[in-house]
Amino acid sequence: MQTAGKYEDYHFIDTTKPVWNYSRFEGDDIANFQNGTNYRCDELFGSHEMEVLGTKGYYFAVWAPNATFVSVFGDFNNWDKQIHALYVRLDNSGIWEGFIPELPKGASYKYHIHGYAGQKLDKGDPYANFWEVRPNTASRTWALDYSWKDATWMDKRKEHNKLDAPWSVYEVHLASWMRPDKYNEESYHTYSFFKEHLVSYVKEMGFTHVELMPIMEHPFDGSWGYQGAGYFAPTSRYGTPQEFMDLVDAFHKEGIGVILDWVPSHFPYDAHGLFMFDGTHTYEYADMRKGYHPDWNSYIFNYKRGEVKSFLISSAMHWFRKYHIDGIRVDAVSSMLKLNYSRTAGQWEPNEHGGDGNLEAIAFIKDLNETIFRDFPDVQTIAEEATDWPGVSKPTFEDGLGFGMKWMMGWMHDTLKYFKQDPVYRQYQQDQFTFSMMYYYDENFMLPLSHDEVVHGKSPMLYKMPGDEWQKFANLRLMYSYMFTHPGGKLLFMGNEFGATSEWNYKSELQWELLQYDSHRGVRECVKALANLLKAEPALYENQFNQFGFEWVDLNHGAESVMAYRRKGKNPAEDIVVVLNMTPVVRKDWKLHVQGKESWKEIFNSNDAKFWGTGDTYNPDIQVRVVDGQAGWYELNIHLPSLGAVILK
């Protein structure tokens, strides 16, 4: 950006040509871009509404280092590829730029590139703020002006996003949350619709945050957004960038944080996208042992290249700066870190130290997190990382990767494996169930029951549970009770909260019709009660990422599959005790030894009639017997419902 004065104050501009010579670059912009340290590329590249010499229009800049000719063509010039040729910078940066006068907002455009070895390519703008609605593939000129109304949230959001705040996240795929016609995958609601309906739903359910599966522009619905083309644009499927800003604003007004899924790991090979951008491997590694992703038939960013690093970190910063988001969940971190990810011997080459780590990707991730937390100390970054890579959520100054949190995939696998079993066999699997607390303190963990667990033949959550219909629902409520009282953040995919009976289908919508049944309404009421309990009880979140927040109270009744643990906040008087009965046997007059407090009451029971439980096994008055008054030990006499969780305070 020209800060010392305008470009035209120092340079002659030839206004006789269709494209005027103009530049927004100055000072160290180019050097930083090449070094991977320009984190405001979105303000320099792409298309920008400007006024030059009293004439309004759009400035364009694109990086195409192996091009011999680049033009802008679109509906404004009848898609003529020759008229509006950009100027190449003479500093060997590979940047092409220029100003097109009188160009209106909303014009569709692409870059026509004469690339390596004479290839002719038509590409969308990697830095575009807005795109045509798919299947069309052009970018659109746009401006990101918006009057934000979330100052109250922004001033105080550190309180909501810090690590000792309650975290319950509702994961949403916008298109299939609700559709105008559930039988028509081409029908979409708008950002404005979600502002009216999704915001109030998340608020009513008591979740603290919403996580949107990738809303960055992407060509193919079946990728769910994880194979993107527009790293700086919310998808036009649901409306304009401003309408998306309005949705974020509405969440903030209701005190709900917004997390975006972000995919810096790979991108698709669509002709208009980043792949072979100027006829060579511009954005991806040229060595396909590093540059091609066998699992997803996609291409991997070249983290060694400074320009690519600047592009990616600028993308992340763009969403924080322009869209006021509260966090990013970084997808597929495991695949970025490991050179041998999904590769066998001979398909990968060790790094310079002989190891399997992608050193450039590791450096990129550390820079990403350092930059985000430097400029936005009141947000979070969350890693989807499934290996035993050390220090994912440790600070970079402790040689960690610098994320705020990491998805706890081991907890998810162990928990689902445990709950899938017939309760008669759970007595033999207590070690598996309690294993999560052995490695819990290694990272700041978020517990995910995500979209990945209810697709592709994995069955919906409800049908992972054993037993008859009543037992399936009881087991599901029991598992959610365990999840919400286990240390760490929580993430629940849409539809899980009311016990969907079919796998998630991105082409349709959630099974809202199930809510006519008491059983499904009951499990939703249970999740709502748990989400509100999480926010109301500091013992559940104040020490959720350290060893002071949890202790086992009773693991000595494996044969009965009853387990109890204490959750502790900063004030011992607010401690709570959770008792889980993992079998369909009602246990009356169960004796539990606890230390510290003499008086206890039941504050939650997953068998409550309003949750579609039987409602007949509960604890209105808990009898307490002194075991050792001096040491403060007491024996509680409680009643445990079948397949039930009881929470005492």
Residue with the two structure tokens 């086992």: 552
Domain end residue (candidates: 91, 112, 141): 141
* Active-site option among 42, 243, 261, 331: 331
Looking at residue 489, what DSSP letter applies?
E
Looking up residue 541, the CATH number of its domain turns out to be 2.60.40.1180
The structure tokens listed for 211 are 């996580």
List beta partners, residue 604: 647
Report the percentage of the chain scoring pLDDT > 90. Answer: 97
Angle between helices 359-375 and 306-323 (to 10 degrees): 30
User: Which of 110, 160, 113, 159 is closest to 138 using CA atoms?
Assistant: 110
- Kindly report, residue by residue over 210-242, the tens digit of the pLDDT: 999 999 999 999 999 999 999 999 999 999 999
Give the span between the Cα atoms of 236 and 369, in whole angstroms: 28
Mean pLDDT of 539-551: 97
Q: Which amino acid is at 574?
A: E
Q: Per the domain annotation, does 432 fall within a domain?
A: yes
Give the span between the Cα atoms of 585 and 379, in whole angstroms: 45
Q: Per the domain annotation, does 172 fall within a domain?
A: no
In the predicted structure, residue 481 carries a pLDDT above the cut 50: yes
Residue pair 164/541 in contact (Cβ under 8 Å)? The answer is: yes
Question: What is the per-residue DSSP string for 190-241?
Answer: -HHHHHHHHHHHHHHHT-SEEEES--EE-S-GGGTTSS-SEEEEE-TTS--H
Show the CA angle centred on residue 487, arms to residues 429 and 423, nearest 5°.
Answer: 25
CA distances from 351 to 348, 356, 359 (A): 10, 6, 7
Q: Which residue has the higher pLDDT, 566 or 3?
A: 566
Q: Per the domain annotation, does 115 fall within a domain?
A: yes
Mean pLDDT of 307-311: 98
Main-chain phi, psi angles of 199, to 5 degrees: -60, -45
Total domains, the chain: 2
Q: Per the domain annotation, does 440 fall within a domain?
A: yes
Q: Per the domain annotation, does 627 fall within a domain?
A: yes
In the predicted structure, residue 2 carries a pLDDT above the cut 50: no
Give the span between the Cα atoms of 464 and 420, in whole angstroms: 5
User: Which of 429, 333, 351 is closest to 388 using CA atoms?
Assistant: 333
In the predicted structure, residue 496 carries a pLDDT above the cut 50: yes
Give the span between the Cα atoms of 46 and 471, in whole angstroms: 56
358, 361, 366, 372: CA torsion to nearest 10: -160
* Active-site option among 29, 243, 384, 443: 384
3-state secondary structure of 172: strand
What pLDDT is stored for residue 4 in this prediction? 61
Domain end residue (candidates: 80, 111, 141): 141
Question: What is the per-residue DSSP string for 22-55?
Answer: -----TTHHHHHHHT--TTGGGTSEEEEEEETTE
Helices and strands (DSSP H and E) totals, the chain: 15, 29
- Kindly report, residue by residue over 396-424, the tens digit of the pLDDT: 999 999 999 999 999 999 999 999 999 99
- Kindly report, residue by residue over 12-43, the tens digit of the pLDDT: 999 999 999 999 999 999 999 999 999 999 99
In the predicted structure, residue 600 carries a pLDDT above the cut 70: yes
Q: Per the domain annotation, does 576 fall within a domain?
A: yes
Domain end residue (candidates: 110, 141, 172): 141
Is 384 tagged catalytic? yes
Is 278 tagged catalytic? no
The structure tokens listed for 345 are 């011997």
Model's pTM, two decimal places?
A: 0.97
Segments forming the whole domain that contains residue 420: 409-494+512-648
Mean pLDDT of the chain: 96
In the predicted structure, residue 1 carries a pLDDT above the cut 70: no
Looking up residue 100, the CATH number of its domain turns out to be 2.60.40.10
Binning pLDDT at 50, 70 and 90, where does residue 5 land?
confident
Residue pair 203/528 in contact (Cβ under 8 Å)? The answer is: no
Q: Which amino acid is at 11?
A: H
The structure tokens listed for 438 are 């052995």
Looking at residue 283, what DSSP letter applies?
S
Give the span between the Cα atoms of 21 and 155, in whole angstroms: 42
Q: Per the domain annotation, does 133 fall within a domain?
A: yes
Q: Per the domain annotation, does 585 fall within a domain?
A: yes
Binning pLDDT at 50, 70 and 90, where does residue 533 land?
very high
